[in-house]
Chain A
Amino acid sequence: MTQPITIAMVEDDEGHARLIEKNLRRAGVHNEIVPLADGASAIAFLFGSDGSGLANKGRPLLVLLDLNLPDMSGINILKRLKENEHLRASPVVVLTTTDDKSEIQRCYDLGCNVYITKPVNYEKFANAIQQLGMFVYVMQVPEVV
């Protein structure tokens, strides 16, 4: 029996976090969602106190990552994740307000798995998150090694 996926939600805006969670739940996602409101707590959770990433060994992780964080750019976290031998296989979904082409390119170059722009139009926003939720529902994620 495989462990259910843990969703690490790196999101500094409480409102956004709430709306994301709401719509994930609506899509039938019952997995644990760990809210991480800034870069430092995200790093601490993902890489553990020793910074190695071993803290999450055996856990299937999905990272939802906002790029505009108060204390650092989400890009740095993405880079560290994809360079980490234990965590690099964990899927990262960048979920941000930035729709700048070069930024999107940069994220994919660094190994992000999906890039989603948060639209202001709520119908589209809800749709995007719910579709992501349905996707999470069916996806297989490797355990942290």
Chain B
Amino acid sequence: MTNGNGETKTRIGVSEGADNIARQQAEEALLKAGALQRAIFNSANFSSIATDAKGVIQIFNVGAERMLGYAAAEVMNKITPADISDPQELIARAKALSTELATPITPGFEALVFKASRGIEDIYELTYIRKDGTRFPAVVSVTALRDAQEAIIGYLLIGTDNTARKLVEAEQKKLDQRLRDQTALLSEANEEIQRFVYIVSHDLRSPLVNIMGFASELDVWRKQIFERLAALRAQVGGEQDGESDEALRSDVEEALSFIKSSVAKMDRLIGALLKLSREGQRQFQPQFIDMSQLLRSTLEALAHQAQDVNAKISIGELPTITSDRLALEQVFSNLMDNAVKYLRAGVSGSIEVRATESDGAITYEVHDNGRGIDAKDRERIFDLFRRSGIQDRPGDGIGLAHTRALVRRLGGSINVESEPDRGSVFKVTLPKIFKVTLPKTGLLPVSEMME
């Protein structure tokens, strides 16, 4: 029915005596079919191999010649596609199919076409072997060819060279593995840092107990010493140095009070480090959250402070989110707290929370009309122990550092836009749905800030 040049002899079934139009239509259809066939058989990018019912190759197109290195004449009526396929793979395929279809299938041509012979659409990967013995991966689609009575008269195997995709896949696999290795390493390093911070914090606290303890004891002794000094002076009847005693007394008092306030501050900082390290280890539990409601309950805790400074807070209708509730409470309570804390004296405060949503991400914005942040400080304020502006409010420079660490761990980002003496906008962008990707990836809340 064909020759090696891909030309096909086709019988035409137009009945004798039919009218000219019908004949014309039939000829056109034939022309089209012929053109289609020629195109397929001359295609250099697809190998088209047709066989008879037993598998013996009948058609071997230009693409097949190019990919496999055989001339059509060398294979036609001589071998089956099984002879140019990897025999190991054939054995494996036959075995797998035998199990899948619960019928014994021989590891030859039958294994290649069995599914197609049962009318099952079949596309699979295999390794073809070229005339020179080299191999290449291919994706092959197999179709049974049937006659008018639906009896199988042969098979068509259309294949593409899969080498490029395999290379990409292998490369991708390598990259994935590298990424997994890196993540594991990072995660391990992070855990180590968390443990380190934890241990160091405790070990730092121990000497502080002593410094504070003995400074306090000294303070008690100071009083006793100066009382005794005064008593002794009274005994010897000398009053002349009373003034310098007083100066000495206040010097000692001042020194001790500096020691104590510094120790207290150091204790607070260590406490903050401990808290951060502890929270860095906490596993997030994503859940569906009504953000308007979450913000409103955060607001309740702030109501008193807000009233004190005559601030109005309004919360718009906010998009819902799937994320970690506790972390979000901390993030927004911190931002709102800051907004209330750093308003301008004499200006009634106005704080507003809005949100925009796009592309699976939500940006929540906390607007205030407070004192604003100088341009040079807009990055700095997110660093641990760093603060901005006039230092007239209590704080240790921990809140925003903690907030940024949390937002990052939630897969988001935070930034600030601000105009000094006009106000600030803190923008928190979060994924609409937070997914816990790896069991222990806590993304460096502490280490990052200690850089």
Residues on A lying within 8 angstroms of B by beta carbon are: 13, 15-16, 19, 22, 68, 97-98, 100, 118-123, 125-126
Minimal beta-carbon separation of B275 from chain A (angstroms): 11
Closest 3 CB pairs of A and B: A15-B210, A122-B216, A120-B267
| Pick from A98, A123, A126: contact of B202, CB under 8 Å | A98
Determine the distance from Cα of A13 to Cα of B217 in the docked complex, in whole angstroms: 17
When A97-B202, A123-B216 are in contact, do A19 and B209 touch as well, CB less than 8 Å? yes
Q: Which residue of B lies closest to A98 (CB)?
A: B202
Q: Report the separation of the CA atoms of residues A122 and B214 in the bound assembly, to the nearest whole angstrom.
A: 9
Asked whether any CB of chain A lies closer than 8 Å to the CB of B278, the reply is yes
Number of chain B residues close to chain A: CB under 8 A: 18
Instruction: For A125, list chain B residues within 8 Å (CB).
Output: 209, 212-213
Other 7 A-B pairs with CB < 8 A, given A122-B216, A126-B216: A13-B210, A68-B202, A98-B202, A120-B209, A121-B267, A122-B213, A125-B209
Q: By DSSP majority rule, is chain B's interface helix, strand, loop, or mixed? A: helix
Q: Which residues of chain A are near B193, meaning CB under 8 Å?
A: none
Query: Taking the nearest CB of chain A, how far is it from the CB of B276, in angstroms?
Result: 14
Whether B217 lies near A16 (C-beta < 8 A) is: no
B213 near A97 (CB under 8 angstroms)?
no
Enumerate chain B interface residues (CB-CB to A < 8 A). Answer: 202-203, 205-210, 212-217, 263-264, 267, 278
CB <8 Å contact, B213 and A15: yes
Whole-angstrom CA separation of A44 from B424 in the bound complex: 63
The residue of chain A having its C-beta at the shortest distance from the C-beta of B263 within the complex is: A120
When distances are taken between beta carbons in the complex, the residues of chain A under 8 Å from B212 are 120-122, 125
B213 touches A19 (CB 8 A): yes
B219, closest chain A residue (CB): A122
Residues of A close to B213: CB separation below 8 A: 15-16, 19, 122, 125-126
Q: Shortest beta-carbon distance, B410 to chain A, in Å? A: 23
Asked if residues A22 and B217 are in contact (CB atoms below 8 Å), the reply is yes
Residues of B near A22 (CB, < 8 A) are 217
From B206, B208, B267, A68 is in contact (CB under 8 Å) with B206
Given contacts A120-B263, A120-B267, whether A15 and B202 have CB atoms under 8 Å apart is: no
Give chain B nearest CB distance to A83 CB in angstroms.
Answer: 26
When distances are taken between beta carbons in the complex, the residues of chain A under 8 Å from B205 are 97, 120
Closest to B214 in A: A15
The answer on a CB contact under 8 Å between A15 and B209 is: yes
Given known A-B contacts A15-B210, A125-B209, A120 and B202 have beta carbons under 8 A apart: no
Give the most central of A98, A119, A121: most B CB within 10 Å: A121
A100 touching B217, Cβ below 8 Å: no
Quote the shortest CB–CB distance from A27 to chain B (angstroms): 16
Task: Point out the residues of chain A lying under 8 angstroms from B214, CB to CB.
Answer: 15, 19
Which of B209, B216, B278 contacts A16, CB < 8 Å?
A: B209
Q: Tell me the minimal C-beta distance from B357 to chain A in angstroms.
A: 37
Residue of A nearest to B266 (CB): A120
Q: Which residues of A contact B263 (CB under 8 A)?
A: 120
For A120, the closest partner residue in chain B by CB is B267
A–B Cβ pairs within 8 angstroms, 12 of them: A13-B209, A15-B214, A16-B210, A19-B209, A19-B214, A120-B209, A120-B263, A121-B267, A122-B212, A122-B213, A123-B216, A125-B212
Which residue on chain A has the smallest CB distance to residue B215? A122
Residues of B within 8 A of A123 (CB): 216
A22 to B213 CA separation, bound complex (whole angstroms): 11
A4 to chain B, nearest CB (A): 27
Q: State the Cβ distance, B355 to closest chain A Cβ, in Å.
A: 34
Question: Chain B residues with Cβ under 8 A from A15's Cβ?
Answer: 207, 209-210, 213-214
CA distance A125 to B205 in the complex (A): 13
Residues of A within 8 A of B203 (CB): 68
- Contacts A122-B216, A125-B213 given: A16-B206 contact, CB under 8 Å? yes
A13 touches B206 (CB 8 A): yes
A37 to chain B, nearest CB (A): 14
The answer on a CB contact under 8 Å between A97 and B264 is: no
Residue with the highest number of chain A CB atoms closer than 10 Å, among B205, B206, B210, B213: B213
Residues of B contacting A121 with CB < 8 Å? 212, 264, 267
With both beta carbons as reference points, the residue of chain B lying nearest to A23 in the complex is identified as B213
- Write out the residue numbers on chain B whose beta carbons fall within 8 Å of the beta carbon of A126: 213, 216
Shortest CB–CB separation between residue B62 and chain A, in angstroms? 72
Residue from the set B202, B208, B209 with the largest chain A CB neighbour count within 10 Å: B209
- Chain B residues with CB under 8 Å of A97's CB are 202, 205-206, 209
Contact (A120, B208) CB under 8 Å given A68-B203, A97-B202:
yes
Chain B residue nearest in CB terms to A66: B206
Chain B residues lying within 8 Å of A118, measured Cβ to Cβ, are: 209
Task: Tell whether, in the assembled complex, residue A120 and residue B217 are in contact, meaning their CB atoms are under 8 Å apart.
Answer: no
Nearest residue, chain B, Cβ from A13: B206
CB neighbours of B206 from chain A (8 A): 13, 16, 68, 97
Within the complex, the shortest CB–CB distance from B387 to chain A, in Å, comes to: 22
Residue among B203, B207, B210, B263 with the highest chain A CB neighbour number at 10 A? B210
Q: Give the nearest-CB partner of B208 in chain A.
A: A120
Q: How far is the CB of A86 from chain B (nearest CB, A)?
A: 32
